[in-house]
Amino acid sequence: MTDWLFRDDPYLRTAPAQVTALTEEGGVVLDRTIFYPTGGGQPGDSGHLRWDGGEIEIATTVKGAGDDLVLVPAEPAPLPPVGARLEQALDWDRRHRHMRVHTALHLLSVVIPLPVTGGAITAEKGRLDFDMPEAPEDRAALEKTLNELIACDFPVSEDWIDEAELDANPGLVKTLSVAPPRGAGRIRLVRIGAGENTADLQPCGGTHVAHTAQIGPVRLGKIEKKGRQNRRVHLHLDA
């Protein structure tokens, strides 16, 4: 079972670990990892593994069996043996941009308070699909409000509730296309703000910045029609 270090500290860039398994497809499973796996619209992390006598580049990370995470090499190469101790290092700039985009999309769902039907994240931009029959009349006003929220520098933190609490508060779930993961007994909530100044609270397993000002300025891109009831809103990092 992999210990998901990124969940407790998404700012870890390096960490030691031990190889617990190698998959038939050539992936590496560690006892603990800072690499986030593909999921919830956020791409899997990339980076490097270095051990005594070897090094490989990691292209992405995916979920394996149970709580195991599988680090996928960028190309075929000699792998560290099971039991080897190594150092893992993230492609930090790419991960941090994912964190900025992901947190910005949470705030976009505040500015456009409609059900979310899908979403995706890259290192340069993100998008949310909304159950929105008509396109917004004033995109510039939405962008201005979004950047004002970002500039408030809200703290970003996590809370945990049990599944019964989530069932009693269905309004916490904004995304119609992806249900919060169940079965572990607890649901992770990401909170933007604090107390009466909470701007957003919703289930999410992704990585986020610690304060919204770290997102930086964003701009809204095109708004596309995707079906009779859906509109896709694109969001771009300015730097």
Which CATH number fits the domain that encloses residue 48? 2.40.30.130
> Does the pLDDT at position 182 exceed 90?
no
Q: SS3 string of the chain?
A: CCEEHHHHCCCCCEEEEEEEEECCCCCEEECEECCCCCECCECCCCEEEEECCEEEEEEEEEECCCCCEEEEECCCCCCCCCCCEEEEEECHHHHHHHHHHHHHHHHHHHHCCCCEEEEEECCCEEEEEEECCCCCCCHHHHHHHHHHHHHCCCEEEEEEEEHHHHHHCHHHCCECCCCCCCCCCEEEEEEECCHHHCCEEEECCCCCCCEHHHHCCEEEEEEEECCCCEEEEEEEECC
> Does the pLDDT at position 215 exceed 60?
yes
Computed over every residue of the chain, the mean pLDDT equals 92
- Lowest mean per-residue pLDDT among 13-22, 24-33, 151-160, 221-230: 221-230
Q: What is the per-residue pLDDT for 172?
A: 75
Q: What is the per-residue pLDDT for 164?
A: 79
> Does the pLDDT at position 126 exceed 90?
yes
Statement to judge: residues 41 and 132 lie in one domain: no
Statement to judge: residues 172 and 231 lie in one domain: yes
Statement to judge: residues 104 and 152 lie in one domain: yes
Calculate the alpha carbon distances from 220 to 129, 138, 234 in Å: 13, 11, 6
> Does the pLDDT at position 40 exceed 90?
no
Statement to judge: residues 141 and 192 lie in one domain: yes
Q: What is the per-residue pLDDT for 161?
A: 84
Statement to judge: residues 214 and 101 lie in one domain: yes
Statement to judge: residues 111 and 227 lie in one domain: yes
Q: Give the domain-ending residue among 55, 90, 125.
A: 90
Q: Which domain range does residue 42 map to?
A: 3-90
Instruction: Report the pLDDT averaged over residues 190-219.
Output: 95
As to burial, measured by CB atoms within 10 angstroms (0-12 exposed, 13-18 middle, 19+ buried), residue 182 is exposed
Query: Count of domains in the chain?
Result: 2
Statement to judge: residues 212 and 103 lie in one domain: yes
Statement to judge: residues 160 and 229 lie in one domain: yes
Statement to judge: residues 224 and 150 lie in one domain: yes
